[in-house]
Amino acid sequence: MPPRRFDGRRLRARRREADMHQRVLGREAGVGSHEPVARWESGKSIPPAEKLPAIARALGADIDVLFPRDGDPDLVDLRCDAGYSQSHAAELSEAVSRFRLGAAERGVRKLDEASLPDLAGLYGVTVEELQAAQRRSFGESAPTSEPVESSGPQLADTLSELMEARFPDSRPGAGELAAAVNEKIGTEVLKPEHVDALLGGASAEDIFDDGARTVAFEALGLYFDVSPMVFHNGQSAQKRVLEDIRFLAAQHDVALAARGGEGGISPAFLAVLNKLLADDEGER
């Protein structure tokens, strides 16, 4: 699934350009107050995907510009682009239950042919577009022949903007930035040549292997006080999540997968996740 890319800094800039208070945007997005908007803009959380259309409309922005997506949509994407949660879509549809919709979105069981016109109408697409999205949910569509834009230039822009915001008068050199980031995290994760390459438009995939890339993005996020996700431009959400999971397991020195005949995630890693979720809930 190619979910839309969300950047809290871009949202904040657009909101300020529209001269809109966080409280007003929260009301228009249906989240009730300014607090969720503040968390989105600071990179502490991201809005539910079905809220993105309302946010874009409230700000008078093109959703494909404010929240771009690489690739074509699947069933989840179509639903979210129509502004519906799964339960809301099933409630409004006369032909699809939440159970059947969920099974189709997970690629488990396809929708009945008779239900397609109703759901297509609800989403504001053609039946053919809905069928194409369903094929993608089931992994049946062929890879796009169009070239995927490199993450390098996008990452270079992101890093340049963060440096300009932090050092408006005197931007540090590559060596100074690498040293400052390394000092912040307490170990050497960046070298001057890494910074030079990133600012020059090189792709992070060409500079670091998977594990080193995740650690480097974590370090940059910590130094600039932003979510590490802002550096993952051009990388699939699935790969980002998998890399973050592996990094989390390594950071807490626990096995990711269960051993023996248990299968699935290890009890130790589940315990780490439960603690992190409990801590996060306690901070809200």
Q: For residue 93, give the CATH number of its domain.
A: 1.10.260.40
Task: Count how many residues are written for the chain.
Answer: 284
Asked whether the predicted pLDDT for residue 86 surpasses 80, the reply is: yes
DSSP character at residue 114: G
Residues 155, 222 within the same domain: yes
Domain boundary (235, 256, 278) is at 235
CA 66 to chain centre: 13
Closest C-alpha among 192, 196, 189, 195 to residue 218: 189
For the segment 142-157, what is each residue's pLDDT rounded down to a tens digit?
Answer: 444 444 444 455 777 7
Q: Which residue has the higher pLDDT, 13 or 205?
A: 13
Report the percent of the chain where pLDDT is more than 90.
39
List all residues 6 or more positions away from 108 whose beta carbon is below 8 Å from its beta carbon: none
Q: What is the pLDDT of residue 173?
A: 85
- Residue 257: strand pairing partners: 265
Q: Are residues 189 and 231 in the same domain?
A: yes
Residue 266 CA to residue 245 CA, distance in Å, equals 12
- Sign of the CA dihedral with 258 first, then 2, 226, and 205 last: positive
* pTM score, whole prediction: 0.51
Domain containing residue 31: 8-66
> For the chain, what is the domain count?
3
Choice among 71-75, 158-162, 231-235 with the minimum mean pLDDT: 231-235
Residue 102 sits in the same domain as residue 175: no
Average pLDDT over every residue of 226-254: 61
pLDDT bucket at 28, cuts 50 / 70 / 90: very high
As a 3-state breakdown, the chain gives helix, strand, coil percent values, each rounded to 5, of 60, 0, 35
CA distance 7 to 132: 28
111 and 173 inside one domain: no
21 and 88 assigned to the same domain: no
Q: What is the pLDDT of residues 35-82, one digit of tens each?
A: 999 999 998 888 999 999 999 999 999 999 899 987 889 999 999 999
pLDDT single digits (tens) 252-268: 777 766 665 445 677 77
Which of 216, 152, 210 is closest to 188 using CA atoms?
216
Indicate whether 157 and 229 sit together in one domain: yes
Q: Is residue 145 part of a domain?
A: no
170 in the same domain as 133? no
- Region 175-197: what's the mean pLDDT? 89
